[in-house]
Each structure stands twice: as structure tokens, then as C-alpha cells.
Amino acid sequence: MKKVYLVGFMGSGKSAIGRRLSTLLNIPFYDMDAEIAAQTGMTIPQIFETYGEESFREMETDFLRHFHDEYCIIATGGGVAMREENRSIMRQTGLVFYLNANFRDIWRRISTDINRPIVQRSSRIELETIFNKRMPLYLKSAHIKVETTDRTLKEITQYIA
């Protein structure tokens, strides 16, 4: 097996599940946002503020293009599946799991998060519209859809493993 990519909307559990999976399978774990933040020395809100969203999207694609660790688990950012190039890199270099969560749970988890610029600038309705628009792209990027509603992190991790 090559890389394991976890895709899905903000708050769908990509990082939490990625970390657990990493421990369970003894495979290195990378959180894309954390990697980009470390590379730039800036937080995600600072990158959005200073360079704009489009530059952040370029950084995400750059990360996917140049990340060479062969066997690892990657929690992608929630916007990664929007770009055709990103979807294609992920599908060609690994196995892509889409963590499907319902919007009500997602809103409960992320609505007060100040570290997510998209949440900061959107109303609940706007965010739900983005969620609905992205759903087909997550499905398109993924080899396997994983239902997370009413399942514990442990159950989801074991299912993927």
C-alpha cells in the first residue's frame, strides 16, 4: 500500500482519525495544515490574511506534488478535493478515504473555531451551502466512503484499518 489520504469537510474527524490510525498501524501521520503552517512559519488564518485563499490553495497543491514520504497517512485540508489536480494526485499515489459526516454534527464541532478562516467568514447557511457543493467532489476524489455519523473514533479507525 502507498499513502492513505483522509478527505472530508472541516470537523469530519480527519486529523483525529489519522492520528489513531497512525498509532494502530504504526505508520507515520501528517496533518497537511500543520505541515503548511510549519513550512511557512505562519498559522492558517495568517496565511489567508497575508497571502489570500488562492495562495493557500497553491500551497496545498504544492504539498501534494512534492510530498515524498511513501508509506504514511495524510489528513488533508477540507478544501483539497476542490481541485482536479489534487484529486488526481491523491488517487494516483494512494488510497483515498472520504469521511462523511452530517452538517449538524460538523456545525456543532466547528462553529466557534477561530482557526478556520472559512468558518470565520461564513454564516451557518453559507457554510452549509459550501458543504453541499463540496460533497460530490469528496465523493469523486475518494476510493472509499466512510460513514462517521453515530460511530465512535475507535469504530471508524478500526473500520478503515
Which lies closer to ligand S3P via its Cβ, residue 26 or residue 147? 147
Which residues are known binding-site members for substrate? 33, 57, 78, 134
- Contacts with ligand S3P by CB under 6 A lie at 10, 14, 33, 44, 77-79, 116-118
Distance CA 43, CA 34 (A): 8
Q: How far is the CB of 80 from ligand S3P (least distance, A)?
A: 7
Which residues are known binding-site members? 11-16, 33, 57, 78, 116, 134, 151
H or E element in which residue 74 lies:
strand 73-75
Q: How far is the CB of 10 from ligand S3P (least distance, A)?
A: 4
Identity (one letter) of the amino acid at 149?
Answer: T
Which residues are known binding-site members for ATP? 11-16, 116, 151
Closest listed residue to residue 79, CA positions, set 16, 37, 144, 33: 33
Q: How far is the CB of 95 from ligand S3P (least distance, A)?
A: 19
Which ranges constitute the DSSP H helices of 42-152?
44-51, 53-66, 84-93, 103-110, 117-120, 124-141
Q: How far is the CB of 70 from ligand S3P (least distance, A)?
A: 23
Which lies closer to ligand S3P via its Cβ, residue 6 or residue 160? 6
Which lies closer to ligand S3P via its Cβ, residue 94 or residue 117? 117
Which lies closer to ligand S3P via its Cβ, residue 26 or residue 41? 41
3-class secondary structure, 7: strand
Distance CA 138, CA 145 (A): 9
